[in-house]
Amino acid sequence: MTLEELNHLEKPALAEALQKCCGSTKWVENMLAAFPVSDAETLMDEANTAWNKLDEADWREAFTHHPKIGGDVEALRAKFASTSTWAEGEQASVKQASQETLEALATGNEDYERRFGYIFIVCATGKTADEMLALLQARLTNDPADEILIAAGEQNKITRLRLEKLLAA
């Protein structure tokens, strides 16, 4: 979709397109107010500004729109059908991971969710499963107040990548 096409979508269709990039209702509302945008750089700036206006509850809402890294692909496919292709591409290296790494990711995800109350969020693009496992294990020791900020930063990176994919579709 071109930026011009995005700029000319009716609000419901635009909201649906933006929701694929970030699952925060408030972020989508903030972005709707920014349209039309003049160019891709402005779109990215507006997305970042909209993200930075959110609070922890909004971040946590966005996190719920992600499959768990290394999770059950079939169960997640139904829940995240609209973004499944993007998420699978973002997590492609997990499919090539060893069984040991996959089991460690599954256990680590459970530990992470129990500790912090939300799934492990990482911008997986370009990372191997072993790298993501190392990041997960390192972040498990973080203070919850620090970790939510790290997770929010990762979500912001994912949102930017998904906006780029939206414009490339």
Residues with a known catalytic role: 66
Angle in degrees, 0-180, between the axes of helices 11-19 and 25-34, rounded to the nearest 10: 130
* CA torsion, ordered 164, 71, 151, 27, to nearest 10 deg: 50
Alpha-carbon torsion (112, 114, 115, 118), positive or negative? positive
CA angle (140 as vertex; 136, 142 as ends), nearest 5? 120
**CA 97 to CA 103: how far, in whole Å?**
10
- Which residue is associated with the tokens 């970042």? 48
**84, exposed or middle or buried, with CB in 10 Å at 0-12, 13-18, 19+?**
middle
Q: What is the CA radius of gyration of the chain?
A: 16
| CB of 30 closer than 8 Å to CB of 62 | no
